[in-house]
Structure 1
Amino acid sequence: MAVIIIVVLLALALLAWLLWGKKRPVIVIDEKQTAGYRQILTYNVSYYQNLDAAAQTKFEQRVIAFLSSTIIEGVDIEVTELDRVLIASSAVIPVFGFPEWEYRNLTSVILYPDTFDNDFQFEGGNRSIMGMVGSGYMNGQMLLSRQALVNGFAKNGGKANTAIHEFVHLLDKTDGAVDGVPEILITHDYAVPWLKMMHQEMHRIEQGKSDINMYATTNEAEFLAVAAEYFFSKPDQLQQKHPELYDQLSRMFAQDPAVD
């Protein structure tokens, strides 16, 4: 059943591409809807809460732009406005330092009620996937667990945010390779120091000398995504415990989210 739903969603994504192509859609600002988004952001997104008023307005506009150009569909669930705003926030946060950024390698986000398996099934015992960026026939799609999405923005969510993790993978993929060195974000001069730092920190994690999630040792791409979760979720803590890593990520994402 889930596979059939996926096929239908892919067809919808293709239709959206045919209608919009690579043209930026005309965005109609609905003040009532914007006020609703603002309320959700105010109560649920700490990153937004820490912005000044002018930056908050820009963030709201970026959220609206993302939702105007991206299909969000649910598998056996009804997508709520909270779901939509949290997904859009996850997309905007990593690229907020780049005002003209658009996700040209994404057409739709498919939201599952909870974890799913490699066959996109969300029932049964062998389910551990909380999010993934599609490849092959799923290229241009992102799959997310609603539970993981909500948990990532919870007040006690800690350093983890699955949706931000997946959008960082999408950024990494922009240059054609998901390798932890996104050419769109990092210049050639900083690539070698970044790789060196990654490998040093991965070694410390393996030795139990780092508070970064062990999953970051999987490979360079996962290190980048896990470190970015930490950077955007607990920037003060990352800056205190890993100042050099914080500085590298701050340069990479053109942001300095730590609160003085």
Structure 2
Amino acid sequence: MDNLFIALGLVLGLAIAALLWWFLNRKRRSTPAEPAEPLPPSLVELLAENVPYYATLPADRQAVFADRVSLFLAEVQVEGVDTDVDDIDRVLVASSAVIPMFAFDDWQYPNLTTVVLYESTFNEAYQTEGDDRRIMGQVGTGGALQSTMALSKSALRNGFMNKTSKENTGIHEFVHLLDKVDGEIDGAPDLLMPKEHLQPWLRLIHRTMQEMESHKSDINPYGLTNEAEFFAVVSEYFFKRPDLLKTKHPELFAQLEQIFRQNPLTDEKVVEETAEPSLNEEPDER
């Protein structure tokens, strides 16, 4: 009998903890962002020099972008593990977060508190030595790492400074985070798409993956891992080389334009629409 009471107590305690987490997470998502402190001029200069997305915005939109970078850096710690973290690293991490969600006002990534930078690639045990170091970025999915993102500092910088590539590790990982908001990292960002668009989007993913398997595509083959990695990979492509994506994969470009409410080929970036899905609503139960 004592064991029964203990078990019931544990279950009740876990239920209360889960309810408390849900309430706090819901509150954070539904509360408008506080006004950001102005981004220091030195960081604004780094934005202009290193983030092409920002550099092509008109002045009024640059101010909005800088404010969101400032807000992100006020709320999320950027720390290094056996490596120094410079202002350029903080600016690039924040820009990676702001770019995918620039069309949505007051967006904050739920439950992200820390971005950890490693000098270079790392392995599953977050070790930076050895031959099996292939990971450039990773989103925490549980336990102590639930609210943490890990990034290779060299990959982060290369994503912005190599302007001809189709890869950007920072954007890739933040796309995983926004994909995760509906409860599952699955390549189908439910809160960004009308429900009737989800199945056509998944069919397009699978059709494109078949083309990739036949070596008839220039999309990074890492996108063949699963639907979630495909979504992150083509999102990198969309923001990094939108000109090339629109030419080679016009249907993908059009779908991503709808998902992110953006056309990166335009100076304004944001595509105005009459109806906008709420990113502060709780996801439907599945």
TM-score bin (small chain) = 0.7 to 0.9
Q: Whole-Å Cα distance in 2 between the matches of residues 149 and 70 of structure 1?
A: 17
Partner-residue secondary structure (3-state), 2:150 = strand
Task: Tell me the alpha carbon deviations over residues 48-89 of structure 1, each in whole angstroms, 9 at most, x when there is no partner.
Answer: 112111111110001001001001110011211000000000
Match of 2:112 in 1: 106
The structure-2 alpha-carbon separation of the partners of 1:49 and 1:247, relative to structure 1 and needing over 3 Å to count, comes to same
User: Which of 121, 124, 134 is the equivalent residue of 1:128?
Assistant: 134
User: Which of 61, 70, 78 is the equivalent residue of 1:64?
Assistant: 70
Structure 1 residues without counterparts, runs of 5 or longer: 1-17
Q: Whole-Å Cα distance in 2 between the matches of residues 172 and 66 of structure 1?
A: 18
User: Which of 88, 99, 104 is the equivalent residue of 2:94?
Assistant: 88
Alpha carbons 1:169, 1:221 under 8 Å: kept? yes
| Structure 2 letter corresponding to 1:101 | W
Across the aligned residues of Structure 1 and Structure 2, the Cα RMSD in angstroms comes to 1.8
Match of 1:4 in 2: none
Match of 1:224 in 2: 231
Tell me how far 1:133 sits from its aligned partner.
Answer: 0.2
Q: Whole-Å Cα distance in 2 between the matches of residues 25 and 208 of structure 1?
A: 45
1:27-176 aligned at under 5 Å gives the runs 29-30=37-38, 33-137=39-143, 138-176=145-183
| Structure 1 letter corresponding to 2:95 | S
Partner-residue secondary structure (3-state), 1:256 = coil
Tell me how far 1:29 sits from its aligned partner.
Answer: 2.3
| Structure 2 letter corresponding to 1:29 | E
TM-score, with length taken from structure 1: 0.88
Match of 2:243 in 1: 236
Q: Whole-Å Cα distance in 2 between the matches of residues 223 and 190 of structure 1?
A: 17
Tell me how far 1:194 sits from its aligned partner.
Answer: 0.2
Alpha carbons 1:72, 1:111 under 8 Å: kept? yes
Alpha carbons 2:32, 2:106 under 8 Å: kept? no
Tell me how far 1:259 sits from its aligned partner.
Answer: 4.3
2:193 is the alignment partner of 1:186: yes
Alpha carbons 1:27, 1:68 under 8 Å: kept? no
TM-score, with length taken from structure 2: 0.80
Alpha carbons 1:116, 1:130 under 8 Å: kept? yes
Task: Tell me the alpha carbon deviations over residues 155-174 of structure 1, each in whole angstroms, 9 at most, x when there is no partner.
Answer: 44510001100000000000
The percent of aligned pairs where both chains have the same amino acid is 49
Poorly superposed stretches of 4+, deviation over 4 Å: 23-28
Structure 2 residues without counterparts, runs of 5 or longer: 1-23, 268-286
Tell me how far 1:258 sits from its aligned partner.
Answer: 1.5
| Structure 1 letter corresponding to 2:75 | S
| Structure 2 letter corresponding to 1:177 | E
Q: Whole-Å Cα distance in 2 between the matches of residues 209 and 103 of structure 1?
A: 35
